[in-house]
Amino acid sequence: MPTLPSAYTEAAQELRTLRDLLRWAISQFERHQLQFGHGSDNAWDEAIYLLLHSLNLPLDRLEPFLDAGTTQSERLHFVQLIQRRCEERLPAAYLTGEAWLQGLRFKVSPDCIVPRSPISELLSTQLAPWIEDPSRIESVLDVCTGSGCLAILAALTFPNATVDGVDISAAALAIAKQNIEDYGLEDRVCALNSDLYSAVSDKKYDIIISNPPYVNEDSMQALPAEYKHEPRLALAGGEDGMDLVRTILAQAADHLNDNGILILEIGNEYDHFCTAFPELEPIWLSTETADDQILLLHKEQLLNR
User: Which runs of consecutive H residues, i.e. helices, occur in 38-132?
Assistant: 43-54, 72-87, 92-96, 119-124
- How high does pLDDT run on average in the chain? 96
For β-strands 104-107 and 189-193, DSSP reports them as unpaired
Residue 104 in any domain: the answer is no
Instruction: Encode pLDDT of 131-145 as tens digits.
Output: 999 999 999 999 999
Rg (CA), the chain: 21
Cβ 282 vs Cβ 270: under 8 Å = no
- Residue that finishes a domain, picked among 52, 69, 96: 96
Q: How far is residue 110's CA from residue 107's CA, in Å, rounded to a whole number?
A: 11
Q: Strands, DSSP E only, in the chain?
A: 98-101, 104-107, 139-143, 162-167, 189-193, 205-210, 256-265, 283-285, 294-298
**Domain span holding position 48:** 6-96
pLDDT of 6 strictly over 90: no
Together in a domain, 182 and 81: no
| 242: CATH | 3.40.50.150
Whole-model pTM: value is 0.95
pLDDT of 1 above 70: no
Residues of the chain above pLDDT 70, percent: 99
Q: Which of 111, 110, 119 is nearest to 152 (CA)?
A: 119
Q: Is residue 132 in some structural domain?
A: yes
Sequence-distant (6+) residues with CB within 8 A of 86 are: 28, 29, 31, 32, 34
What confidence category does residue 5 fall into, taking pLDDT thresholds of 50, 70 and 90?
confident
Give me the pLDDT at residue 289, please: 84
pLDDT per position as a tens digit, 269-294: 999 999 999 999 999 999 998 889 99
Residue 3 confidence class, pLDDT cut points 50, 70, 90: low
Q: Are both 145 and 48 inside the same structural domain?
A: no
Residue pair 158/134 in contact by the 8 Å Cβ criterion: yes
Strands (E), 129-220: 139-143, 162-167, 189-193, 205-210
- The phi, psi pair for 301, rounded to 5°, reads -65, -40
Number of domains in the chain: 2
Instruction: Please determine, for residue 104, whether its predicted confidence score (pLDDT) is greater than 50.
Output: yes
